[in-house]
Amino acid sequence: MSNTNSPSEGYLLSKANSYYIFFLLFLLYLFDYIDRLVVVSLFPYLQKEWGLTDTQCGLLVSAVYWSIVLFSFPVSILIDRWSRKKSIGLMAVLWSLATAACAFANNFTHLFIARAAIGIGEAGYAPGGTAMISALFPEKKRAMLVGIWNISIPLGGALGVALGGYIASQYGWRHAFGLVALPGLFISLIFFFVRDYKTVELVKKESNLPDCPTTGKMKTMDIIREFLRTPSLLLTYIAFAGNTFLTTSILSWLPTYLHRFENLPMEKASVMGSLVLIMAIVGSPLGGFLADKWLKKRANARLLFSALSSTLTAVIFLVAFGLFSGKVQYGLFLLGGIAAIAFASSAIAVTQDVVHPGLRAISYSICVIFQNLLGSSLGPIFTGWISDQFNLKVALTVTSFSPVLAGLFFYLGSRFYQKDLDKVEKIDICIEER
């Protein structure tokens, strides 16, 4: 079936249909993060009822990310080789039901298991959604659209923290889990009926002769070499982890920090923490926009921009935790909320730029594994452990050094980007028949 738009426009479907699917993907990502982070504002209630330590609270966040690490790669193979819409729909059903199950937990172990089940459902969503956006929209819009899509991460996290704190204070912490689970379940059922693109054949050029170009099916070792021989991709994966180590720690612990060090009620601390996360609504699309603009003048701009924004993030939070308190510190937190997410849209675009089109979900799943194994799963528990040894302010100050390493790895990756981009197979993507 031919594209419904002219090739010059670069859309796989009509603009209206492409943006409709994008809207559903945005909503699902929003409720993904609401369900993932609603537990953060429930820490004081769980500690009061069950006597949990800060380390145990950190484990309730890390449980989701460990499951994502374990299941992201196999689920991404299903996405790339079977069906994007069916895989995404099934995952959203699973994570919504697992969130509802948290409301019935009787102890820490039960809640930990339910939280881990949320991670199983969420394991392939980011790779699947990224692959769909990359296929549906023109390449020149990729970083910008991914940037807008990623607004749902801080917005969902902020809503999860704010809603959790409010619902728990009014009705109890169990109701917080139950109520946030319902919308994602509803949207997941709608997603089964959207248009999907045909599974891309894993073929590579075996001859570039003008009179007789030939192609052959990629073998397992060809796929492995596709990644191992792409240094800009590998360095991007590692750099991602350096940033998520900090951002997930901030997502998890900032409300508690404001509660302890500014003596704010947890409901207010949750809202103020949420406002910091919401600032990423500016940072995510702004980062994508600036990187795409710079890309017109410099081929490796996406990775150079990620390097600069990562370094800036570290400086902002180190100054905030190390030198200030009160209103000035909170103002820096808000600025840090913009800077902390600015790298993501351009870095995610790189994971799609420099790989075979049939391996895009797998590519981002590997990025998810790196960022969660080395970043998101370790950040909250590391911060909780340091807090138990010293205090939460010291812990968050130490954690704020991690984006410096991210900036270094992004810079190193930028030196290989153009060469890696030139090696990518050019494959046409077609929409599925109804």
- If we measure between CA atoms, which residue out of 128, 133, 135 comes closest to residue 71? 128
**pLDDT for the residue numbered 333:** 96
CA-angle at 114, arms to 340 and 239, nearest 5°: 25
**pLDDT for the residue numbered 244:** 93
- If we measure between CA atoms, which residue out of 147, 126, 100, 136 comes closest to residue 291? 147
pLDDT in tens, 170-191: 888 899 998 888 888 898 888 8
Tokens linked to 45: 């209630």
Burial class of 179 by CB neighbour count within 10 A (0 to 12, 13 to 18, 19+): middle
**pLDDT for the residue numbered 368:** 82
Cβ count within 10 A of residue 253: 27
Helix 231-261 vs helix 54-81: crossing angle, to nearest 10: 150
Per-residue pLDDT of the chain (434 residues; tens, 9 = 90+): 334 444 446 666 777 888 888 999 999 999 998 998 898 889 889 998 899 888 888 889 889 888 888 888 888 888 877 777 888 888 899 999 999 999 999 999 999 999 999 988 888 788 888 888 877 887 777 777 887 888 888 788 878 888 888 898 888 889 999 888 888 889 888 888 887 767 666 666 654 545 545 556 777 787 888 888 999 999 999 999 999 999 989 878 898 899 999 988 877 887 888 788 788 788 888 898 898 889 888 989 999 999 999 999 999 999 999 999 899 999 999 999 999 989 988 898 899 889 888 788 788 888 888 987 888 878 988 998 999 999 999 999 999 999 999 999 999 999 999 999 988 877 666 566 55
**pLDDT for the residue numbered 122:** 83
C-alpha–C-alpha distance, residues 64 and 54, integer Å: 17
**pLDDT for the residue numbered 72:** 83
Q: Are 196 and 204 in contact (CB under 8 A)?
A: no
Task: Domain 15-197+222-422: give its CATH code.
Answer: 1.20.1250.20
Q: Are 124 and 80 in contact (CB under 8 A)?
A: no
Rounded (10°) CA dihedral 126, 129, 130, 131: 120
pLDDT in tens, 280-322: 788 888 898 898 889 888 989 999 999 999 999 999 999 999 9
Q: Are 5 and 14 in contact (CB under 8 A)?
A: yes
C-alpha–C-alpha distance, residues 352 and 134, integer Å: 7
